[in-house]
Structure 1
Amino acid sequence: MGGKRKRKNGGERRGTHPRNKYSDNPPDFGLLASLYPSFEPYVFYSRDGRPKIDWTDFNATRELTRVLLLHDHGLDWWIPDGQLCPTVPNRLNYIHWIEDLLASDIIPATSADDDVKKGFDIGTGANCIYPLLGASVLGWKFVGSDFTDVAIEWANRNVKSNPHISDLIEVRRVGTEDKLHNMEELQNAHKCSSEGSLDASSTKARDAGLLASPVPETHSDAKKSYNGPPILLGIVKGGENFDFCMCNPPFFESMEEAGLNPKTSCGGTPDEMVCSGGEHAFITRIIEDSTKLKHTFRWYTSMVGRKLNLNILVSELWKVGATVVKTTEFVQGRTSRWGLAWSFLPSSHRKISSHKNEDNNLSFMLEGLQRQHGAFHVLQSVQSYLANSGASCKLDTAAFTVDITASKDQVDALLKTEMHNKSEAVSYPDELNPSSSSNDQRQMDALRFRILVFQQIPGTLLVRGTLLDRTSSISGLFSLIFHHLEEVLINKFSTGRVSAVSNIRR
């Protein structure tokens, strides 16, 4: 964030939304230090003269967030020591992605006119960052919920400190009585569905749309079940309707797990960072609530911290009857998060075949690696796997990348080999079918992409794929090749777990 990072191939900074204020103009730490004396002590200069801050210093990251919100968004903001400190560019990416969902015609707007969009921020925290940014940047209305005294007090302070948008934001407390009511309601719903019968009142409630079909249990281990405060059910009031909900969930099952990255310090209390079952259990509860609230929200969304969980959650959403499921990736520096969105409203889009996937940047996590296996070994396997089909592979050990160029024939051979190993047949749409092109055209066109590998935490690598030539007529095959590569690497290097589901429906 301390300066504009240019890619070697001259492309744009990946992972930053094009409408993000910081997409082409990342924060200038030197300028901010000259304008805000309180920030100046945290800025130092590298040997090449670039201004930097110490990302392991909570006070530095908090002061950076404060001055960015003030300088770029006119927001007066503060949080007490130890509370989760958000990064502004990353949070803006999430907001602009939701803006894209609302602007698309995938799920038609429920209102006949251009009403102000209304969102629900699950676990808004003391920072209240999403309502503040959504209200100031886009004029959206928000309800932000939380259950701790500190979060409620400081979220309200941050709202009241910005009177120009305070009428757009409501901070709603989640109480213990709501927790008990919510837990009993969910348990009763599950009990009724498991017994295969409903009493008269439950039948009436289901007919009225207050109860949904049984939610399939994917994790029977009680330790993996969420048992914290209510999330949506019991907090959303009767008759309320929202365009979307959003959530930065507790990603971890313990504070020890949350503290594995020693290179950053964003604070965070156990209430903000940890819950029983981690992010999977928390988001699964959002899904369960959404099956009961159904059309109360046009879009349900959440951040996801692990690609493995993203794949599992997508599968669960299709099982419970979501009409649309969308995903995206948020990248800031070397940290990746994913966005997950779904709806139960009728979709206006026909099913799009997989080759229409417009993802030009894909990634997955390799977890559970043995000590003897590192990024270099994975790179070598990538090179070997793709070179076997005759593709040209240029390995850069310094940058931990492999640049690949594959002809249509080589892509065809690679995919057919993979499908043959699975006793399946490979089929292409006519416009991508190698046999439907002339020999000259097949030799001229090519798929060009890059694979990057680097370590996230010990035993875990992030593998990213970037399409380098979007104009190629076979660029739509990039996602197929990348997902095959994912399966190969997971089967070879990841130990002690089942491979993640790779093909996500769009």
Structure 2
Amino acid sequence: MHSKNKHKKSYDFDALILAHPKLNSFVFTSPLTQKRTIDFAKSESVFHLNKAIFLADYGLRDWRIPKGYLCPPIPGRADYIHHIHDILHVENLSEQVKGLDVGVGANTIYPILGVQIYDWNMVGCDTSKDAVESAKHNVSLTPELLKKIDIRHQSTPANIFEGIIKPDEQFTFTMCNPPFFASEEEATRTTKTKLKNLKKAGPVELNFSGQAHELWCNGGEALFIKRMIKQSVAFKGQVKWFTTLVSKQENLSKLKKQLDKLKATHKTISMEQGNKKSRILAWTFPEATE
């Protein structure tokens, strides 16, 4: 039902390289498909592909992130944005949309896509001061974004919404790509398994890179989202829809039970990009004051 087309999953590398010539060094012809591609397991390759897409397809002047910060491919991120748009469209909430990206990271991808695809107003927040400074710099590289994107620092890591959502401030939605892993060991072990499955040799590199706070937290994804759900109750009068990605299918049942106990209306939306499967968990509080 997307009113805007999903980002195409086959790339016009000629156009992308024209926009960002450095990408050419990372493009090769796959011996299996005989099609041009990049190594999506390498963060540097993904960074240059993302930069080319932003320059060629989304009108950015420039885009940068510090080495070692999370750099996920744009198409999957764009799909999340499109699915949120679909939710808002069904609920007649498509006008004057304002969204909050929890854990914006240095890459600033979600706020940029929200503005450039749907002309939303976006707020991005993060617990890392370095990520916040990098996100602000990314916004400033394309001056038109400065009027649409506000980047805020979460000074209390235990809080998710408190200290970020201002008194009487209204949001149409929140979104989040939570830390997947419970520890660095789990992240490294998972990456080793992925590389083995892909029959790749060589040293382990965490997929798409990433800082500690971006990849893991105590209790992993499930505990983080449980905390988000619990804290969302205090802001049910200021946010129409709360959403988050849920990477692990097995986490869903407990999260839905928690939402049921809180009398929240919720829905789950499946997402697929290549071999990666994920899902969006979205919830709202129907009794919340308008």
TM-score by length of 1: 0.51
Summarize the alignment of residues 325-474 of structure 1 with structure 2, pairs less than 5 Å apart.
Answer: 325-346=266-287
Q: Supply the distance in 2 between the matched residues of 1:298 and 1:35 (Cα, whole angstroms).
A: 38
- CA shift digits 1:173-214 (9 cap, x unpaired): 111xxx2xxxxxxxxxxxxxxxxxxxxxxxxxxxxxxxxxxx
Which SS does the other structure have where 2:158 is aligned? coil
Range with greater deviation from structure 2 (287-296 or 117-126): 287-296
> What is the aligned-residue RMSD (CA, Å)?
2.0
**Count of matched residue positions in the alignment of Structure 1 and Structure 2:** 273
The one-letter code of the counterpart of 2:129 is D
Q: Which residue of 1 aligns with 2:10?
A: 26
- CA shift digits 1:64-83 (9 cap, x unpaired): 11111111101221111110
Q: Supply the distance in 2 between the matched residues of 1:35 and 1:127 (Cα, whole angstroms).
A: 19
Higher RCO (C-alpha under 8 Å, 6+ residues apart): 2
CA contact (8 A) 1:33 1:43 kept: no
Which SS does the other structure have where 1:249 is aligned? coil
Q: Supply the distance in 1 between the matched residues of 2:28 and 2:153 (Cα, whole angstroms).
A: 41
Which SS does the other structure have where 2:143 is aligned? coil
CA contact (8 A) 2:70 2:107 kept: yes
Among 80, 99, 103, the alignment partner of 1:94 is: 80
The one-letter code of the counterpart of 1:160 is S
Q: Supply the distance in 2 between the matched residues of 1:289 and 1:302 (Cα, whole angstroms).
A: 13
Question: Any unmatched runs of 5+ in structure 2?
Answer: 199-205
Matched, 1:59 2:54: no
The one-letter code of the counterpart of 1:92 is A
Among 29, 34, 40, the alignment partner of 1:45 is: 29
Q: Which residue of 1 aligns with 2:166?
A: 237
Among 224, 246, 250, the alignment partner of 2:179 is: 250
Q: Supply the distance in 2 between the matched residues of 1:246 and 1:20 (Cα, whole angstroms).
A: 20
Q: Which residue of 1 aligns with 2:145?
A: 165
CA contact (8 A) 2:19 2:56 kept: no
Q: Which residue of 2 aligns with 1:121?
A: 101
Q: Supply the distance in 1 between the matched residues of 2:75 and 2:20 (Cα, whole angstroms).
A: 19
Q: Supply the distance in 2 between the matched residues of 1:122 and 1:100 (Cα, whole angstroms).
A: 20
Q: Which residue of 2 aligns with 1:364?
A: none
Q: Which residue of 1 aligns with 2:64?
A: 78
Q: Which residue of 1 aligns with 2:203?
A: none
Q: Which residue of 1 aligns with 2:53?
A: 68
The share of aligned pairs that are identical, in percent, is 38
Q: Supply the distance in 1 between the matched residues of 2:47 and 2:250 (Cα, whole angstroms).
A: 30
Q: Supply the distance in 2 between the matched residues of 1:18 and 1:119 (Cα, whole angstroms).
A: 18
The one-letter code of the counterpart of 2:17 is A
Change (3 A) 1:170 1:34: closer
CA contact (8 A) 1:295 1:345 kept: no
The one-letter code of the counterpart of 1:36 is H
Q: Supply the distance in 2 between the matched residues of 1:35 and 1:97 (Cα, whole angstroms).
A: 28
Summarize the alignment of residues 244-323 of structure 1 with structure 2, pairs less than 5 Å apart.
Answer: 244-259=173-188, 260-261=190-191, 262=195, 265-322=207-264
Per the TM alignment, residue 158 of structure 1 is displaced from its structure 2 partner at its CA by 0.7
Which SS does the other structure have where 1:165 is aligned? helix
Per the TM alignment, residue 57 of structure 1 is displaced from its structure 2 partner at its CA by 2.0
Q: Which residue of 2 aligns with 1:154?
A: 134
The one-letter code of the counterpart of 2:59 is G
Question: Any unmatched runs of 5+ in structure 1?
Answer: 1-15, 180-227, 348-506
CA contact (8 A) 1:310 1:338 kept: no
The one-letter code of the counterpart of 1:85 is C
Among 121, 140, 149, the alignment partner of 1:141 is: 121
Which SS does the other structure have where 2:221 is aligned? helix
Per the TM alignment, residue 282 of structure 1 is displaced from its structure 2 partner at its CA by 0.8
Q: Which has the larger radius of gyration?
A: 1
Per the TM alignment, residue 20 of structure 1 is displaced from its structure 2 partner at its CA by 3.6
CA contact (8 A) 1:122 1:247 kept: yes
CA contact (8 A) 1:20 1:93 kept: no
Which SS does the other structure have where 1:284 is aligned? helix
- CA shift digits 1:141-193 (9 cap, x unpaired): 11111121220111000111111121111101111xxx2xxxxxxxxxxxxxx
- CA shift digits 1:119-142 (9 cap, x unpaired): 111010101111111011111011
TM-score by length of 2: 0.88
Which SS does the other structure have where 1:74 is aligned? coil
